[in-house]
Structure 1
Amino acid sequence: MEALVLEKKMDLSLRDFPIERDEVMGPHDVRIKLHTVGICGSDVHYYTHGKIGPFEVKAPMILGHEASGTVVDCGAAVTTLKVGDRVCMEPGIPDPNSRATRLGMYNIDPAVRFWATPPVHGILRPSCVHPEAFTFKLPDNVSFAEGAMVEPLAVGVHAATKARIRPGDIALVMGAGPIGLVTALSALAAGCARVFVTDIDDAKLEIAAGLGPITPINVLKENMVERIRQATDGWGVEVVFEATGSPQAAATVFEPLCPGGCVVMIGGQPNPISYDAGAAMVREARVENIFRYAHVFPRCVAMLSSGAIDVKPLLTRKFDFKDSVRAFEIAASAPKGDVKMQIELPQ
């Protein structure tokens, strides 16, 4: 089957890749014809850098892990899905017998196999085999494009859950990329009365401002902390979500935080970072860290279907599968105003 293959750093090709020979469908698995696959920042990072932390591309690897598609075959023991169902897929498969999985923290199981994380292949290809337990039916009013957004949305919902948001809280999201914006949407859905979003891209901040009671702040043009203190009578925000992955931004997370507030670290940091422990101490700040997500895919699908969260404004560009290499080249250039690019496969 033809697939988008990362041969090595900065070398992508669309070519035949015989992965289907290695994919045996078991009784609890389904085969899915892929429809839409999102381009994630991690996919782009593997393309431009060849590795993320300890995960290094040492052999050709298929990219892609944000996906939706249609069930075309079912294992003998599958009961919740049938041929023809439109679905989205959770891309990380843990070891069911690991201690982390048995404790309910399957996302941090060291043995988890996650699409497009070396050496595991992704799904920018015509079809894949996946466990029924990690495949979720899409309601009729949720499109394939929205279904492929469930994976990044899951990060935001997991972050909002970790923050323990209370109705009426005010939050700050640092970063208006895809993860930052789904986090802002998740914070509002969780009960925040208002969310500040910071970035340096006015086009992305304009998109953010249209998502609800969101106040955009361009940190190149105004002082974030002063703006937030003025808007909160000097108190600060109850929750800060760090979604930039920038050491400079991470160093400032406690400055806009109110006493007793919570910081949630979302953005991946390639190197160790430092922050002001004294500022955290005098606030008795709670610090949470997230790694992907767990137990939230059904919640995300339900919120998309009900209208509690609308991700359609984040879908800024679509490419045909035959243009996948060009799509990644454009994504790597980080064009202003683009939030989520997706690739649509032939049907």
Structure 2
Amino acid sequence: MKSLVLERQDELSLRDFSEISKAEETLGPRDVRIKLHTVGICGSDVHYYTHGRIGPFVVNAPMVLGHEASGTVIELGAEVVNLSIGDRVCMEPGIPDPTSKAARLGMYNIDPAVRFWATPPVHGILRPTCVHPADFTFRLPDNVSFAEAAMVEPLAVGVHAATKARIKPGDVAVVMGAGPIGMVTALSALAAGCARVFVSDLAEKKLEIAAGLSQAIIPVNVSQQNLVDIVLAATDGWGADVVFEATGSPQAAAQVFQPLAPGGCVVMIGGQSEPISYDAGAAMVREARVENIFRYAHVFPRCVGMLSSGAIDVKPLITRTFAFEDSVRAFDIAASASPEDVKLQIELPQ
């Protein structure tokens, strides 16, 4: 089974890979077997490639990459009734322990026992087929393409963030960071009811892409403009109702309260490898509400529905598509962090 394998830090290979365990490949009664079609390259995949670890998750053995995926159901477990062979699907990549307290409380994404594709020691799905629980596999409407479906996973982060923010119709939001997650967060904020969304970044090309997503998105190049001044001027000095931090930059995270309105909400999305500066005084005088998100929960069907209805359009974010045999080159391009690229995807042979 040819797969894209991270052998160790800075070394990728496309080769036959037999280390997928028999248990992982065995079809259980509530599982489906899926032929993979499209897989997106996530920043975490690239980080494992370039650094060999993310926090406590260390690549100590060869690991298959990839977790943003779509495909076709080719086999059903005996108890599966909600899917059929031939269904086009996308898959939620984190599998919790259904008996855990977190899962029983509905917060399955923060279950310490969750097994998440391409997070050591769990293999990802840049390979021909995989077995996955039917409960975390979602049928696609005919008008949602495989490429769009492979964007559901990152979109779920933005939708989860917008949900945690409790956006009200007409709110003004700021999204710090115009990477893939920042852009899907901006789209999610608009779909949730925001009247305007300011998106800030240093890369002019990414800001141009963001501005092209909607007339309600206002790009701010923070290398040339002052984000706080622009937001305050546009809101009669009041500030933004919601600020999303999607850069993962300690410098940006230290400034989240500056453009925030009194009583506003900050949502921390970007991962921070070290403790960051927190302006408790600025938070206090605003009575700011601070939310943190870890991946997502209960939003995949919502994302599929919004893609189908046209409420959210992710197609402009897919900037390059590669054949499976070009996967190593695709990752090298992704690692170069070209400002012209947002989401790179890989298509597997059909």
TM-score normalised by L of structure 1: 0.99
Partner of 1:293: 296
Partner of 1:271: 274
1:181-219 CA distance string (max 9 Å, x none): 000000000000000000111111111111111000000
Q: Give the Cα–Cα distance (whole angstroms) in 1 for the partners of residues 119 and 255 of structure 2.
A: 30
Q: Give the Cα–Cα distance (whole angstroms) in 1 for the partners of residues 275 and 27 of structure 2.
A: 41
Q: Give the Cα–Cα distance (whole angstroms) in 2 for the partners of residues 337 and 162 of structure 1.
A: 30
1:267-295 CA distance string (max 9 Å, x none): 00011111211000000000000000000
Amino acid at match of 1:72: I
Partner of 1:101: 103
Q: Give the Cα–Cα distance (whole angstroms) in 1 for the partners of residues 80 and 170 of structure 2.
A: 43
Q: Give the Cα–Cα distance (whole angstroms) in 2 for the partners of residues 336 and 172 of structure 1.
A: 20
TM-superposed CA distance for 1:20, in Å, is 6.6
Partner of 2:231: 228
Q: Which runs of 5+ in 2 are unaligned?
A: none
Q: Give the Cα–Cα distance (whole angstroms) in 2 for the partners of residues 149 and 108 of structure 1.
A: 22
Q: Give the Cα–Cα distance (whole angstroms) in 1 for the partners of residues 276 and 60 of structure 2.
A: 27
Q: Give the Cα–Cα distance (whole angstroms) in 2 for the partners of residues 340 and 11 of structure 1.
A: 22
Q: Give the Cα–Cα distance (whole angstroms) in 2 for the partners of residues 71 and 274 of structure 1.
A: 47
Partner of 1:8: 8
TM-superposed CA distance for 1:80, in Å, is 0.6
Please state if 1:162 is matched with 2:142.
no
TM-superposed CA distance for 1:21, in Å, is 3.6
Q: Secondary structure of the equivalent of 1:270? A: coil
Partner of 2:47: 45
Partner of 1:111: 113
Partner of 1:64: 66
Single out whichever of 16-25 and 177-186 deviates more from structure 2: 16-25
Partner of 1:246: 249
Partner of 2:190: 188
Superposed CA RMSD = 0.6
Partner of 2:91: 89
TM-superposed CA distance for 1:334, in Å, is 0.2
Q: Give the Cα–Cα distance (whole angstroms) in 2 for the partners of residues 138 and 203 of structure 1.
A: 32
Question: Of the candidates 335, 338, 341, which is equivalent to residue 344 of structure 2?
Answer: 341
Partner of 1:198: 200
Question: Of the candidates 298, 317, 321, which is equivalent to residue 318 of structure 1?
Answer: 321
Question: Of the candidates 144, 163, 186, which is equivalent to residue 146 of structure 2?
Answer: 144
Q: Which runs of 5+ in 1 are unaligned?
A: none
Q: Secondary structure of the equivalent of 2:153? A: helix
Partner of 1:218: 221
Partner of 2:178: 176
Q: Give the Cα–Cα distance (whole angstroms) in 1 for the partners of residues 108 and 231 of structure 2.
A: 37
1:13-45 CA distance string (max 9 Å, x none): 001112274411001000000000000000000
Amino acid at match of 1:159: A
Q: Secondary structure of the equivalent of 2:338? A: coil
Q: Secondary structure of the equivalent of 2:162? A: helix
TM-superposed CA distance for 1:158, in Å, is 0.1
Q: Give the Cα–Cα distance (whole angstroms) in 1 for the partners of residues 219 and 92 of structure 2.
A: 31
Q: Once superposed, which parts of structure 1, at least 4 consecutive aligned residues long, lie more than 3 Å away?
A: none
Q: Secondary structure of the equivalent of 2:39? A: strand
Q: Give the Cα–Cα distance (whole angstroms) in 1 for the partners of residues 22 and 232 of structure 2.
A: 59
TM-score normalised by L of structure 2: 0.98
Single out whichever of 18-27 and 55-64 deviates more from structure 2: 18-27
1:87-132 CA distance string (max 9 Å, x none): 0000000000000000000000000000000000000000000000
Q: Secondary structure of the equivalent of 1:128? A: strand
Please state if 1:328 is matched with 2:334.
no
Give the number of aligned pairs. Answer: 347
